Structure formats: structure tokens, C-alpha cells
Amino acid sequence: MWTSFGLRSVSKRSRYYDAYNTDTAAPYWRGPIWININYLALEALHYYSSIDGPIKNLAAVLYTQLKNNVVGNLLKQYEESRFIWEHYDDKTGVGAGTRPFTGWSSLVLAIMGDTYD
């Protein structure tokens, strides 16, 4: 599920990855990078990196890498398009879906501020 832009919504190994929902409905939640999903993963990694345990160090490394991937891509896409997008292509990082979209994509501000309440 890991990409240079954030976590995919579905693993590339899944039979549902990039598969149409119906004959005419594109694979909306089946592969793209959604900020709300990445926020939840980052929240968990942030938590586990803050408590003693066998995965503390690994969680800290993964947290930093994933945060940098998500924030870096959103900033790049914003600089290029001047929009915050609904979701992002898992292969290219390019913004897709509705724009401007300040629903859950605005969670990037919480991610940037390490705010997970």
C-alpha cells in the first residue's frame, strides 16, 4: 500500500485494486490516495512511536516517512495546480476528483502540526 505519495486505499495485490465498482462506475475508493486514510495511519504511528514497546523506533521511522510523503505530495500538487484535491493518484501523486476540496483533505494541516486528537 506504500507509495511515494502516501498510502493507497487498497493494496495493489487485492483483486479490488483499480477494479471498476460496476460496469460504468470507476474505481473510486480502490487504489487512490485519500488523506483521511493516511491521517488515521499517521495517528496510529504517532501514538506507537510515543510509547515504550518493541515497535516504538520502527513506528517513529514510518511516521516520519509517511508524513513526508503525504505532506510533500500535497504541497507539490498545490503548487502546480493551486488546488487541494479530493484524492491523489497512487502512481503519479497527481490530484484527482473534486477540487477545490477542503473536506478531509484539510486534515493535511493537522498532519503538518502533528495534531491527533
Mean pLDDT of the chain: 94
Residue pLDDT, tens place only, 42-97: 999 999 999 999 999 999 999 999 999 999 999 999 999 999 999 999 999 999 99
Domain count of the fold of the chain = 1
- The three grid cell numbers given for residue 115, joined into one nine-digit string: 495534531
pLDDT by residue (tens digit) across 14-28?
A: 999 999 888 888 888
The predicted pLDDT at position 98 comes to 87
**pTM, entire model:** 0.92
Q: Which domain holds residue 46?
A: 2-112
Distance CA 95, CA 89 (A): 6
What 3 state SS string does 67-84 have?
Answer: HHHHHHHHHHHHHHHCCC
